[in-house]
Amino acid sequence: MTRFLTLFLFVSSWLGAQQLRVETAASEITYEASHVVHDWSGTSKQVQGVVVLEDAVPTRMAMVTSVASFDSRNESRDAHALEVLEALLFPKVSFYSDKLALEGETLNITGDLKFHGKTISLTTTANWVKKEGVWLLEGNFDFKPSEFDITLPAFMLVKIRDNIHISFRLELRTFAL
C-alpha cells in the first residue's frame, strides 16, 4: 500500500495538484462494537493517507491502516479479533475515493472500502476545515461485518451486533515531493 500512496502522490504532483498527507501522530480511526452484555471500542493511531487538492478543493483520497493497529485496551479481545478478521491473510483496511464533493465545510465522499479481502462502495459525509495551516477531516459511518464475509464472534452463545460504527479524525498537512 505504501507503493500505491507513493505512486498516487507522484501522479498527482505531475498533474499539478497539491497533496496533503495524513499527520499520523495526530490522527486516529476508532471503531465501536456492541454485544448484549457490553459495548467496546478500539482505536488505530497508525493511519496513513493522502488527499489531493485541485484549486483548494479535495478531489481524491487514499487511506490505509493495519488491522493489528487497533487497540481496545484488552489484549485478549484484540488477539481474538485478529483471528476472527484473519489479519494474517488480510492485514490492511483501506479506502479510496475519487468522488468527492465539497459543500461549504461538508465533504460528501463516495469510495471503495476494502476490508477482509472484499471491497464495498461506501458513501458518507465528513467535516472538512482548515485551521492554522492544518486541514481536519472528521466524520463517521457504519458498516456490517457480514458484508465483508466476516463470521460474527459470539460471547455466551450470543453473537455481537452486526454493525460497527467508525469515527475518524485526520489531520493533514501539505506534502511536497
CATH homologous superfamily of 2-175 = Lipid/polyisoprenoid-binding, YceI-like (2.40.128.110)
Question: How does DSSP classify residue 71?
Answer: B
pLDDT per residue as tens digits for the range 63-86: 999 999 999 999 999 999 999 999
pLDDT per residue as tens digits for the range 91-100: 999 999 999 9
Answer yes or no: are the C-beta atoms of 90 and 60 closer than 8 Å: no
Give the start-to-end residue ranges of the domains of the chain: 2-175
DSSP letters for 122-175? EEEEEEEEEETTEEEEEEEEEE-GGGGTPPPPEETTEEPPS-EEEEEEEEEEEE
Q: Does the pLDDT value for residue 13 go beyond 90?
A: no
Return the higher-pLDDT residue of 155 and 35. 35
- At 8, give phi and psi (nearest 5°): -55, -45
Q: Does the pLDDT value for residue 9 go beyond 90?
A: no
Note the pLDDT of residue 154: 82
Q: What is the mean pLDDT of residues 157-164?
A: 89
Answer yes or no: are the C-beta atoms of 161 and 128 closer than 8 Å: no
pLDDT band with cut points at 50, 70 and 90 for residue 158: confident
